Amino acid sequence: MISFPKPDDLPDSQRIVITGIGLTSPNGNTVGDFRESLLSGKSGVQDYEIRYFGKTIAGICDFDVRRHQTRKDARRGTRAGSVGCYCANEAILDSGIDWKNTDSSRVGIYIGVTEHGNVETESEIHEIRGFDYDTKVWSHHHNPRTVANNPAGEIALNLSITGPHYTIGAACAAGNAGLIQGLQMLRLNECDLALAGGVSESIHTFGIFAGFASQGALASHDDPTKASRPFDKNRNGIVVSEGGCIYTLERLEDAKARGARIYGEIVGYAINTDATDFVLPNPERQAQCINMALNRACLNAEDIDIVSTHATGTGMGDALECDAIRRVFGKSTKTHINNAKSFIGHTMGAAGALELAGNLVAFDDKVVHPTINLDDLDPECELPGLVKNEPREIETIDYILNNSFGMLGINSATVIRKM
């Protein structure tokens, strides 16, 4: 593997830190509320019904859209845009940065998504049916709503940011990909502040439910809060959820200069590709991705205190990821492993960023949140250090590794260090 300099040997201008977090999840709209839900076992999954598909379950966010958007902007924009605007504004507020005196041309926006435009297209086709498919009634908002850069673009409009903005399509690895892109652009001096993470509006498209159902990969349970059950022998699929998480990223020298609170430093990252199947993951390539991130951070598996797993609750997906994790962490006696999707379902493009946020507070409280709904562990998902159903307090937490994988074989991992 390529040799990398130790993070401490880099100049502060090349060390990238997290100074703010803005999020909305099915069980909390602040870092504090989200963390409390993860420690208290509170699920955010509930009954849901969507046209054409009918009754199902989903993770639904309940944030105040009008807190940062006008009614007009929310109406002409998208749900993903509203999620992004809420999270970006909250991240800036959380960072304590002097926004009024920030040069907006030096702010970059890097937002990961699984998909975009399906919600708007489905809705407009539904409406046009009532007019015998007369395209004269087609919305003039369609194109700006569905262009790929929309979620990042809506944030730019909302906050009057004139620096670079783009949306990163990386399937369910997109949250990590947004974070990695923000780091890289800061190191390249393309911006001085990065708004980076991921958003998802997935529950508002019937197509995603129908697609997973046709694959036999859509979760069901009499009790919605127990439907998302990664690693459990009786898991039966994915709970589709919406959500978002955006971070403010800065160079360490800038964060120090303004006396910012620092959540952690990004010391390792990697993205690679299976190149073997549309849907089924490749554990060898996933393990390779994890090892690449560890190598960049100049760490061994035994240095990692928490591994946040991607596991979505599908039979093959969970088992194959566990294979990958055992390849890397099978001999580590200090690594603890957890999963946030058991609480909130799969927030798609937001998953990597949102699930990381749920673990970052552990640097301070030294508690590893559990995987819930784990009543009967699948032997194929046996992992050393798996934290089941109840939080676990440990002596020190210095490093977190965050897994996030997606369709078409895209894999990502990030490593965050306590500051």
Q: What is the pLDDT of residues 344-377, one digit of tens each?
A: 999 999 999 999 999 999 999 999 999 999 999 9
CA distance 122 to 210: 13
- 29 within 8 A of 249, measured Cβ to Cβ: no
CA distance 280 to 83: 29
SS3 268: strand
**CA dihedral of 50, 54, 56, 59, whole degrees rounded to 10:** 0
- pLDDT at position 58, please? 98
- 46 within 8 A of 213, measured Cβ to Cβ: no
- Other C-beta atoms closer than 10 Å to the C-beta of 216 total 10
- Other C-beta atoms closer than 10 Å to the C-beta of 352 total 34
Q: Using alpha carbons only, how large is the chain's radius of gyration in Å? A: 20
pLDDT digits (tens, 9 = 90+) for 55-64: 999 999 999 9
- pLDDT at position 261, please? 98
- pLDDT at position 2, please? 84
pLDDT digits (tens, 9 = 90+) for 202-232: 999 999 999 999 999 999 999 999 999 999 9
pTM > 0.95: yes or no: yes
Q: Please give the mean pLDDT across all residues of the chain.
A: 97
CA distance 78 to 108: 21
Q: With bands split at pLDDT 50, 70 and 90, how would you rate the model's confidence at 132?
A: very high
Average pLDDT over residues 35-45: 98
* 48: phi then psi, degrees, rounded to nearest 5: -155, 150
pLDDT digits (tens, 9 = 90+) for 225-274: 999 999 999 999 999 999 999 999 999 999 999 999 999 999 999 999 99
Partners of 247 in the beta sheet? 21, 196
Residue 104 has pLDDT above 90, yes or no: yes
- pLDDT at position 16, please? 98
- 16-24 vs 264-273, strand pairing mode: antiparallel
CA 294 to centroid of chain Cα atoms: 20
Q: Could you please report the per-residue DSSP string of 79-107?
A: HHHHHHHHHHHHHHHHHT--GGGS-GGGE
Q: With bands split at pLDDT 50, 70 and 90, how would you rate the model's confidence at 381?
A: very high
- 277 within 8 A of 225, measured Cβ to Cβ: no
Residue 86 has pLDDT above 90, yes or no: yes
